[in-house]
Amino acid sequence: MLNGLTTVRFYAPDMEAAKRWYTELLGLPPYFDTPDYMEFRIGDYQHELGFVHSSHAGTELSMTPAPDTTGPAGSLVYWHVDDVPAALDRLVAMGAKEHDPPIDRGQGFITASVADPWGNLLGLMYNPHYLSILAAMKESS
């Protein structure tokens, strides 16, 4: 039924600031960029990371209900990184706030998370399963 991640979307009250911050983090500009919505394609599978201007929370453009909290809310999506502590340090140096410190979950899985400057939660994970799937896909191509 669920075939794969398509788009993760965050809110940002200042789209230009969010664009600068995430362009620096990701090392590439958004491939789709309007004043109200932008998307980056990132990672090994070109997953989409989108941003909706906060003024559209709860509208048709956001495709989600307005958040009913002033703090971090919603789902926490983890992105594979090769080095969780180093990625966490970089994000904090860029102005993110640590949400969860690095935690060894066992069997090689390590997680951490931050809140970006707009309160969106960004999960970091070293995930051996991700790496084995990626390696298998590369072998078959």
Enter the CATH code of domain 75-141.
3.10.180.10
Q: Which of 39, 119, 122 is nearest to 87 (CA)?
A: 122
Contacts for 72 with CB less than 8 Å, ≥ 6 apart: 99, 115, 119, 120, 121
The answer, as to whether pTM is greater than 0.75, is yes
List the chain domain ranges: 1-65, 75-141
**pLDDT tens digits, residue range 9-49?**
898 999 999 999 999 999 999 999 999 999 999 999 999 99
Q: Do domains 1-65 and 75-141 have the same CATH topology?
A: yes
Is the pLDDT assigned to residue 51 strictly greater than 90?
yes
**CATH code, 1-65:** 3.10.180.10
Whether the pLDDT of residue 82 is over 80: the answer is yes
Cβ neighbour number for residue 101 with a 10 Å cutoff: 11
